[in-house]
Amino acid sequence: MTSKNFSFKSLVRHNMTSRMWAIALSVLGCLAGLLLPIFAIQQNYRVQLELAAEPDYVFTAADVLKNTQNNIAQVISFDSPFIKLVLIVLATLCGVAMFRYLHDRRQVDFYHALPISRGKLFAVNYISGVLLVLPFYLIVLVIGLIFVSAMGLGGQITGALLAQSILGNIAYFLLNYTVAVLCTVLTGNTIITVLLGIWAQLGIPVLMVMVQCYQAMFYETFSSAVPLMQTLVLYGSPMCNYLATMQHSHTMSVPLFTSTAMDTAGGMAILLYPVVLTIVLGVLSYFLFVRRKSENTGMAVSFRRVKAPIKWFMCIFSGFAFSLIFTAIFTGSSGGMWFGLVFGVVLCHMVVEIIYDFDFKALLHHWKQMIVLAILAVVVVAGIKNDVFGYDSYIPDVDDIASASIESPYYNIDWNYNYQDDIKNQLTDAESIEKIHQLAELSVANNGDLEVEGSSHTYTIYYTLKNGNRVSRRYSEVPQKVIENQMVDLVTSEQYLKQYSTLQTLQITETNEEGVTRLEVRNSAAPEGTLPQATLISRNEIQEVIDQLRADQIANAEAHLKEFPVMQLTIENEWAERPEDNRGALYSADLMVYAADTDTLTLIKRLTGVEPVELTHENVNSVEITQYDEQEYYDYMNQYGEYGQDRFIEAHTITVTDPATIDALLESAITGTMSSRSGFLAQTASYENSLAISAMIENHQGNETWATKESLFYPEGKMPTELINQLFNAQ
């Protein structure tokens, strides 16, 4: 053979021509990952255009075109999962295929006998694998862009988007390709290469997830993983990092990849991780390839020094996995957990030793290491179980907190659960941060305190630290009496209200057209879903009511938590929305008015004539009281089948129509609508003594009259139990 046969170009050409299957697979994969989604979107575009021609279709042709262009840009962009999956598969296949000859002794002898250096041979094989994929990815991408442009669907595709997409996909392809090359060089058997590749790509993230499972099992305040573990999950796997990294979504939780970093660097910050890691792993692969001994071909692992670390990691991983599996099998049994932990370590150690030596007799080789690993696994899990790192007691130093928030469906200023984004909508003022910090200290000191009587409710405290880390703790066993004063002080503060209250954040569209915005007014006797007593349609009048109620809420915030509403205002506006803080549009909202809001009540009476009313026999036609007995109820259900519930209610319900008795029953009663919208300090009693009470409430609007059945509740300790017992005894 002449020297030309061993030139760099000829060797690369030979590698590619001998692997036409890889080229065909690359072309088909890129067609499936790029052109196929584009064709599907284009076909859907035609269907949507036909529908847009219909007069009652919700979207216009311009809307359909814009949505289609956005979808096309998504497929072309770095966010597309289709091409990412294709490139990951191709990178793995080509990385293994180009260096698989290292697993065949005859091929190793042949290649190493060629008059070329090991370094040149590595470069030839490495570059050949890259050329089997990337040129065809670029060709298919160009074809797709030509097709999209010809169809007029490329309006959202920009040069920056293309540059970020192409460079990002190439960088991550090279990273995943290099991982496959490294695994192939490290091993002497293709099956072991595949197994090692799976460990390399998924081992660290899955291990961190298992550690989080242990934390969720053992930590009383577990809410989310610590920042270090979140970072390891994201960065511990090139494949997972590739799939998680987004160009537009900004979903990553690591400071390096925040939207700010991406925007200021033109979106190129996403290249830092794959480029740096590719260089490191590429140099390591080259070094190992050059030093690899030919006689190690066929061995499970070609380098003896890396056998032990790989085995250690696998054994700990296996122990954790079997421990969680046995815990699930034995329904949380502590014994099952410890047995599974030791069993997993021992089993994995035996299997790995057999694989390393390809001999079943190697079952107990290095048995001392096996015992040490089992003890180490037990120590690690015991450390997590006993919270040696102080997870449950951790509170950030107040000077390190940049912002904080509390999320709870119970401890809230709004009657309705007002979602608080745990990151974007945190309180940043020093006073609120100090209050939350004091609340956290009380929570840590009293979580699980069984000596304090009373109920407890779940809440989560979120912190964003000045170093960018995000921390959260969830408390579910803190007695309400312990934290009530601090919680009230926080949620009634002006800063909290202006940040989270639906009333304070609501905006009304800027238009003077009457009827676009409606404010329905219902007093406390009007059940939900019924016609309002009055409706305001003037924007100026609506804004006047909202402004006055806002002022009253800030002035009477604590009263709002203790009182029951006396009036309900429902604002309906297609364009009503919160400020642009990513909390979404609010098209309808119920705003409650309390007895303390005297200025608002006076204004509403002046504008509509509606004022609070009490429940009496004049607006309640009858009261029904049902007394439940669980055993009797099931007896009726067994005896009468589908008619059992109706028969039971008929036999255990009394109907009161006497005006004096109705007034006595209604003396402290509150409708279910108003009770469900009360603050967390306004406690109500329902089904006390297994009683369910409802009233037929009559309402009027103009000449219309209607009656609606509404459940009744009572403030704690105010239910007329003695009167109810007399009524049942007299039955």
pLDDT tens-digit map of 527-547 = 666 678 888 888 889 999 999
Inform me whether the pLDDT recorded for 112 exceeds 80: no
Phi-psi category of residue 641: left, alpha or beta, with phi > 0 → left and psi -120 to 50 → alpha:
left
Confidence of residue 86 (pLDDT cuts 50, 70, 90): very high
Q: How confident is the model at residue 686 (pLDDT cuts 50, 70, 90)?
A: low
Report domain extents, the chain: 3-112+119-217+258-298, 305-385, 398-500, 502-608, 620-729
pLDDT at 11 (0 to 100): 79
pLDDT at 245: 80
More confident position, 258 or 188? 188
Mean pLDDT of the chain: 83
Q: What pLDDT is attached to residue 581? A: 42
- pLDDT of 635: 83
Q: How confident is the model at residue 264 (pLDDT cuts 50, 70, 90)?
A: very low
Amino acid 249: pLDDT: 44
**Residue 460 pLDDT > 50:** yes
What does 151-214 look like in DSSP terms, one character per residue?
A: TT--TT--HHHHHHHHHHHHHHHHHHHHHHHHHHHHBSSHHHHHHHHHHHHHHHHHHHHHHHHH
Task: Report the predicted TM-score, pTM, of the whole model to 2 decimal places.
Answer: 0.73
Residues ≥6 apart with Cβ < 8 Å to 552 = 596, 597, 598, 599, 600
> What is the token pair recorded at 408?
């709870």
Residue 107 CA to residue 128 CA, distance in Å, equals 18
Q: Decide if 433 contacts 404 (C-beta within 8 A).
A: yes
- Determine the 3-state secondary structure of 686 from DSSP: coil
Q: What's the confidence (pLDDT) of residue 514? A: 61
Rounded Cα distance between 721 and 726, Å, is 9
